């Protein structure tokens, strides 16, 4: 069994694989000052819920974009699972050529997503891909038909936009981001929700459309992240939603670094 940890700015996603099968996944909020012991007890509680034991785990793989949690994650794997984790960074062979101008600047999660998306949705259909990750920032990553990471686009996440609007406009209330009942808002809250939701739908369609102009019209689009399932039904720009894309990417990269051929 493989324990996979995706340490993001907003959420930490924990997954357990048996071979290629994702048996369990959990998504919890990120707290940047967690210690190794706190993380260990937290993961063990999840294991108890899933009827797993720490001794069931044969290997650990992780990707982190939160530097303050990278060290505690490594120590947690050593202390609570007695495994040396594979931490996906610029030194790890992901099997995906990185053609970014400054390869070390690309977040590990973006490469991991690209690997999983290409293997699951690109290679089988012989097509290039745009991978959209609705996280703290919304990222759009371009993967060539040959499976190369080309680069992408980084935008403020929809929740960042909502927070900025509340903080900078004194008379506007803070609202939850969700799909409104109608595009024309008849209350202030409804108007803000419409602007945030449909504004973001338009942003996705505009950026994906322009990326397809460069990559080719047959380019597919795969979305992941917290808001993917909410945004995707309202736009034809997104072909697939894969909630666990990053976890699958971690599994694939771990397998490649064990000399496996999955």
Q: Cα(237)–Cα(223) distance, rounded to whole angstroms?
A: 10
| Torsion angles phi and psi, residue 13, rounded to 5 | -110, 130
Q: What residues are paired with 86 via a beta bridge?
A: 61
The residue assigned the tokens 């996906």 is 88
SS3 track for 6-61: EECCCEEEEEEEECCEEEEEEEEECCCCCCHHHHHHHHHHHHHHCCCCHHHCCEEE
b/e per residue 218-248 (b: at least 16 CB within 10 A): ebbbbbbbbbbebbbeebebbbbbbebbbbb
Active site residue: 6, 109, 133, 242, which one? 109
Helices (H), 175-256: 188-215, 228-231, 245-256
- Of 75, 139, 81, nearest to 108 (Cα)? 139
What tokens appear for 232 in the block? Answer: 């995707």
Is there a catalytic annotation at residue 109?
A: yes
Question: Going by DSSP bridges, is the β-strand pair 137-143/129-134 parallel, antiparallel, or unpaired?
Answer: antiparallel
Q: Are strands 11-18 and 21-29 parallel, antiparallel or unpaired?
A: antiparallel
Which residues are catalytically annotated? Answer: 109
């Amino acid at each position: 069994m493989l324990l996979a940890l995706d340490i993001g700015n907003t959420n930490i996603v924990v997954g357990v694989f048996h071979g290629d099968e994702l048996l369990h996944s959990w998504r919890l909020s990120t707290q940047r000052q967690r210690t190794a012991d706190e993380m260990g007890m937290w993961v063990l509680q999840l294991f108890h819920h899933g009827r797993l034991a720490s001794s069931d785990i044969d290997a650990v793989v992780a990707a982190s974009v939160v530097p303050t949690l990278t060290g505690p994650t490594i120590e947690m794997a050593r202390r609570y699972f007695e495994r040396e984790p594979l931490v996906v960074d610029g030194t790890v062979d992901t099997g995906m050529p990185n053609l970014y101008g400054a390869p070390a600047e690309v977040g590990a999660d973006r490469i991991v997503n690209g690997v999983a998306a290409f293997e699951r949705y690109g290679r089988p259909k012989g097509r290039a891909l745009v991978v959209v990750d609705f996280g703290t920032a919304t990222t759009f990553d371009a993967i060539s038909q040959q499976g190369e990471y080309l680069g992408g686009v980084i935008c403020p996440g929809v929740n960042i936009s909502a927070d900025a609007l509340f903080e900078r406009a004194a008379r506007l209330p803070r609202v939850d981001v969700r799909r409104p009942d109608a595009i024309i808002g008849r209350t202030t809250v409804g108007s803000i929700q419409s602007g945030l939701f449909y504004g973001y739908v338009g942003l996705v369609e505009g950026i994906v459309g322009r990326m397809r102009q460069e990559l080719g019209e047959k380019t597919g689009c795969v979305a992941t992240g917290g808001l993917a399932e909410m945004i995707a039904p309202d736009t034809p720009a997104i072909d697939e939603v894969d909630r666990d894309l990053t976890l699958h990417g971690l599994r694939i990269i771990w397998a490649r670094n064990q000399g496996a051929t999955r």
